[in-house]
Structure 1
């Protein structure tokens, strides 16, 4: 297989080839660019290109950078023997061919100069261990000493060398195996997968940040459940996300069973993924039932219950985010809110639902109401298609009612028309419990529909409430008479 025609249409390859010839070193395109070229994947990552040379990668990068008339940003990483050039839409990384060995207790490799064969052998998987020559004698030729092309045809993820060595050396490669399988819809080779299960505990030496980076990539795939099933079967999930592992399994008492909440969660995740690319909405799907194991109870009359799992799950969310090194900012709060509220819309599918209940949901969900409704729709996973259709039709009615109430009452994210500061100034109060009580009564009156969400209505009620508590406006206080 030869890619000469493809290379000749791109200036970058011509520059690298000429620089390598000038330095009298052999140069090759390697890694993901080659893989995606063979797979004809039109991805943004295709603009990231790795170059290997049998010599100094840094020297080659410098020569390439100097070949441009305009200034080209060049970053050199001497400790790693690598260099990077950033052009408009390209990110080019250069490294000299090398071989690596590892100590069992460390992720830091001992790096030595090597041949192209040794460089390809040190890579994670055969599909990433192919090279395209940039040398005059065989320009554009695919070099595939480890069978990567055949594995692409077979749709197999396989390590170039003994998978036990590959995974023990760099345990993150186990996460990458699952990510590539999920991304490309490939299978993991049987020997490679068995080695993955045997080395799962080695993930302990990998930082949570690197693990979660791979997990988020799996989450963003069109059907993330495939990757999660592999993580579970390979015992990788057990190493960093035991709360999700605990969802798996079915208990039965007196012929009464509950559904397997692990596979239900994966179905909800896939359903959400068909509606949205939002990573944090997908995390909400992952965590929406996370507290079911902790709240599971058996009642002889009703069977299995999970009362309060939405509140318990919301309380668990910050701890899970913190441990997994996920962002502890508004993204976490968004996920926490959806976990806490995910049962609320389901309770509103009845025809007799009140405007008050709708107003409260709009108030509590705020601008996240649309995301919440997507999660709730995704949560309908019954095998009974008629039941699913009935629920989804009811959600259509709820959404229509929500729009009507919002248009009429404008309670989404509303701030009470009367502030605590205004209450204090009007009645000569300092910050106190009674100020909060007046604000809360006004808010409740609006949510219950007793008054409209308008400043003049809220102020009129403020005076009524204050009077009932023996409070009077400063300008209406009776003057004390003097004798």
Structure 2
């Protein structure tokens, strides 16, 4: 079977690689994900892997020199690989190899092998496809493990015995689930059982590598596919026990609560229909994470989760820390949305004061729209009447907030009077009084005692300063 590479966007590159390999008396093949996506008609990846039954580093240098002698080639001698960037592509060259693994490491011992050996070491049959770039059979598809049939059947299957495949490199378990989620494939049963059996081996994989795969699951069209598989196989217990702690429904005196784990998965799917923002999706994933530790049954009231948003926002930091996720603005953004996730619901009332709306505007700042996207995704009731009612309520709050925002200008709030101006008013040096007065101004504006106006703020500060025993300069 041949693949027509002539129409391929990278045909010129493939001919160059073919020619250089021929001159060096080396065989060369495209392998892995590029071939899979080419066959599936998906958008061509920007990374291409080449395998040669020879020295991959030498071939990389020779190809780079042919394309542009100034190209920088990165060499990794331990694994016999080399790579360089060209026209927005990451091109990696490796000598065909066999691999064997020690029990407590996912770093393999490597020895020279054939193309067949190299295909055997691949994670899945759909990634073990190769296309020849050799002159005698240019474009020929080499499929020793029936990967094309598995693509047709939408199956994730390992080339060799699955338990050994996953034990050798446990990251492959995450990759299996990631491909199932992103390609909408099913993991073949024997392989799925092997993941359950080997789940504990994930502990030898670095959290950074795990999160690369996890975030690809989070960015898939329907993340719950992958998240459910992570839970069903036991992997999620090792990665994020805070989430699996949300599982289950308890009953006391005939009263139950919803299963907050499956609710969370619904919320993540809901929000994914409206945003590709990874961290907004993370906010959806963690919005109820504080419910497990705050769950309590109260007589005559029922199940409560008092303060779960506040505790959940505090948990975000420790979760991000443990998972080696970014600890800067992205983490703080998720924290903020988790903390505010129930606030808009509390404002759905004709009697809601403008000050409550101003405070939500102030606290959410530029993330108000994202907060509303999260709140709408949180509506998982199957009752269409209730769903419509909740959505209309949110639209009502949005209108009220817009009116307050236009009138009071508190979103992305900047104090109408600065610390320097307060110091000049009372001839003060920097000190705690400045902070006290700035906080009083902020609170007065949010409570509606004064408007967000410089003159009003100045007069207010003078009055408050006198109460603190300060004497204005004029």
Residue 139 of structure 1: how far off its partner (Å): 1.5
Matching residue of 1:480: none
1:400-430: per-residue Cα shift (whole Å, max 9, x none)?
2212211111101212222334333322445
Matching residue of 1:184: 183
Residue 171 of structure 1: how far off its partner (Å): 0.4
Matching residue of 2:56: 57
Distance 1:111 1:5, change over 3 A: closer
Following superposition of structure 1 onto structure 2, how do residues 320-335 of structure 1 map, counting pairs within 5 Å?
320-335=319-334
Distance 1:185 1:279 in 2: 19
Matching residue of 2:15: 14
Residue 434 of structure 1: how far off its partner (Å): 4.1
Matching residue of 2:97: 98
Distance 1:313 1:31 in 2: 41
1:474 and 2:473 are equivalent in the alignment: yes
Matching residue of 1:478: none
Distance 1:295 1:18, change over 3 A: same
1:236 and 2:235 are equivalent in the alignment: yes
Following superposition of structure 1 onto structure 2, how do residues 208-219 of structure 1 map, counting pairs within 5 Å?
208-219=207-218
Q: Residues 7 and 13 of structure 1 are in contact (CA less than 8 Å); yes or no, is this contact kept in structure 2?
A: no
Matching residue of 1:42: 43
Matching residue of 1:141: 140
Matching residue of 1:250: 249
1:216-254: per-residue Cα shift (whole Å, max 9, x none)?
111011111110000000100111211011011111112
What secondary structure is seen at the aligned counterpart in 2 of 1:286?
A: helix
Following superposition of structure 1 onto structure 2, how do residues 164-179 of structure 1 map, counting pairs within 5 Å?
164-179=163-178
What secondary structure is seen at the aligned counterpart in 1 of 2:78?
A: coil
Matching residue of 2:3: 3
- Please give the TM-score of this superposition, normalised by the length of structure 2: 0.97
1:271 and 2:270 are equivalent in the alignment: yes
Following superposition of structure 1 onto structure 2, how do residues 295-306 of structure 1 map, counting pairs within 5 Å?
295-306=294-305
Matching residue of 1:28: 29
Distance 1:468 1:67, change over 3 A: closer
Distance 2:62 2:437 in 1: 73
Distance 2:68 2:257 in 1: 69
Distance 1:100 1:347, change over 3 A: same
Following superposition of structure 1 onto structure 2, how do residues 330-341 of structure 1 map, counting pairs within 5 Å?
330-341=329-340
1:68-121: per-residue Cα shift (whole Å, max 9, x none)?
256333222222211112111322111011010001011221100111111000
Distance 1:234 1:415 in 2: 50
Distance 2:466 2:46 in 1: 70
What secondary structure is seen at the aligned counterpart in 1 of 2:350?
A: coil
Following superposition of structure 1 onto structure 2, how do residues 360-439 of structure 1 map, counting pairs within 5 Å?
360-439=359-438
Distance 2:135 2:63 in 1: 17
- Of 78-87 and 158-167, deviating more is 78-87
Distance 1:246 1:329 in 2: 26
- Please give the TM-score of this superposition, normalised by the length of structure 1: 0.95
Q: Residues 8 and 14 of structure 1 are in contact (CA less than 8 Å); yes or no, is this contact kept in structure 2?
A: no
- Of 464-473 and 34-43, deviating more is 464-473
Gaps of 5+ in 2: none
1:442 and 2:448 are equivalent in the alignment: no
1:286-326: per-residue Cα shift (whole Å, max 9, x none)?
11100101000001212111010000011111111101001
What secondary structure is seen at the aligned counterpart in 1 of 2:414?
A: coil
Matching residue of 2:65: 66
Distance 2:396 2:411 in 1: 18
Distance 1:473 1:136, change over 3 A: same
Q: How many correspondences in the alignment?
A: 473
